[in-house]
Amino acid sequence: MSSQTHQPAAGPTCPSCAEPLEQGDRFCGACGHDLSAVSAPPGADRPTLAIGMPAGPPVNWPTVTGSGGPGGPPPVPPHGGPPGTDPYGGQPPPPPRPDVPPSPGHGGPGYTQPPGGAPHGAAYPGSPTGPGAGQPYPPAGPYPPHSGHQPGAGPGGGDFELPPPPPSTPPVTPQVAADPRAVDPPPVPTPPYTKVCVACRAGHVDTDGYCENCGHAQPRERDHIERELGSVAAVSDRGLRHHRNEDAFTVSSTALPDGSPAVIAIVCDGVSSATRPDEASQAAAVAANELLLETLPRGTHPQQAMREAILAAGAAVNALAGRDPQGDTLEDPPHHQLNAPACTIVGAISAGGLLIIGWIGDSRVYWVPDDRSAQAVRLTEDDSWAAQMVAAGLMSEAEAYADDRAHAITGWLGADAYDLDPHTAAFQPDHPGVVVVCTDGLWNYAEAADDMARAIPADATDRPLHSAQVLVGHALDGGGHDNVTVAVLPFAVVRQGAGSAYDAYHQA
């Protein structure tokens, strides 16, 4: 069998696959090649414009010298072929596509189309037959968006131009999915609480009083309180054994009718065996203080004012028995008095050269002179089982206070208390000193007056707050078995001849 060689087909062929073409074909029937965009022959490509090269006619760009008319030089093919060649294979060029606008001219300022017309007879600005005949080609510049045009490309450049989008269609911005790793996390909401845990120093304290990080219970507001008001100061501490502070105090000052000052200190100790002892002590201290601030400026004798203040404190504690912890009224009066809130109370007033004290329960008042060579004195008698045994002569003081029943109180404020009969007393010291008003959380560690005088600093008159802090520290160092509350009230002796509230009361 003889070998057969491929014979080139006569007539136009597809520049892509060499398939024979019919006259008027716009696309190749074999490969679908677009015949209106004829590729440049091999070797006729020009290099891409280098970065930084000014726009203008490329190097060795063939100069257009004629249109191919009679007597003129052969026209330059519109797609970069050698002069005189017919890129359409002897066939007429395809008609212009209606959706592709004519490409603007290239070159630069002053580059004009010579006479003879533009390639393909297109009406370029420089064409003698088109609009703007004889005018220079527009300078090279930015091209319409999405045109696919590159600098240096144009007729004869071999580049295919994409049609611009319709004017009514806005350009579509490609949506790029954001990398989730590069996206900032949403902000963490700030918690509504601002306290930082006292144990771990990192977690926030929740509204229930516990740390969210380590679970440590946080100190309550009343666990440690300090107040200083002029010449009186007080400190209250929860102690080392109790889970809450059931003591309360108030310190204040006012003026008597003659203008002389009256300084007040009230200390209350909640009865732990009763319900809500912390509420009872707070209510009693506030009620007693408010009544003294009301009655002393009116001229009521301080001793009488103290008695009325203790009665007012008792009424305030009694009122608590009519409410449960949420404040709802209880309907069965006998029931709520079985274990009603209760507390003790002790107070001192320094006014007009007099020292007035009042109490119910086992909280105490001590007198400690500035001159420590003088005798310190306890000014109150406890309402307790031990005190009653000593008063009746049945036991010595040492024996009574060594008994387990020693601190069982026989007098208190509360709805289930006996008939309320406050103790009051008035003193007129003849030398300066300090009054120590305290709960048994302190005097358990300094029971005798001499022990209290040794525990309090020598400069207590000048530094009452510091002295109260020292006394609380003394109790904590001793074991802190109970809540500790102490008020230190300096007492100054009135000069001879000066008036006093006591004198004013008796002269009235």
Q: Give 186-210 pLDDT, tens digit per residue.
A: 655 555 546 788 778 888 888 777 8
**Residue 336 pLDDT:** 45
Q: Distance (Å, rounded) from C-alpha 367 to C-alpha 373?
A: 13
Please, which residues have CB within 8 angstroms of residue 1's CB and are 6 or more apart in sequence?
Answer: none
Q: Give 73-105 pLDDT, tens digit per residue.
A: 555 454 445 555 555 555 666 666 555 555 444
Q: State the burial class of residue 361 (Cβ atoms within 10 Å of its Cβ: 0-12, 13-18, 19+).
A: buried
Averaged pLDDT for residues 287-308: 97
Strands 364-369 and 247-255: unpaired
Phi, psi for 387 (deg, rounded to 5): -65, -40
Q: How far is CA 458 from CA 177, 425, 433, 461, in A?
A: 78, 26, 10, 8
Q: Is the pLDDT of residue 178 over 80?
A: no
Q: Distance (Å, rounded) from C-alpha 205 to C-alpha 217?
A: 9
How many degrees, rounded to 5, is the angle at CA 122 between CA 120 and CA 124? 135
Q: Give 105-126 pLDDT, tens digit per residue.
A: 444 444 444 444 444 444 444 4
Q: Give 23-41 pLDDT, tens digit per residue.
A: 777 777 777 777 776 555 5
Kindly calculate the radius of gyration of the chain based on its CA atoms and give it in whole angstroms: 55
- Residue from 154, 157, 148 nearest 40 by CA: 157
Residues in the chain: 508
Averaged pLDDT for residues 320-328: 64
**Residue 106 pLDDT:** 44
**Residue 42 pLDDT:** 52
**Residue 204 pLDDT:** 84
Q: Is the pLDDT of residue 21 over 70?
A: yes
Q: Distance (Å, rounded) from C-alpha 265 to C-alpha 372?
A: 23
DSSP 201: S
Averaged pLDDT for residues 313-326: 82
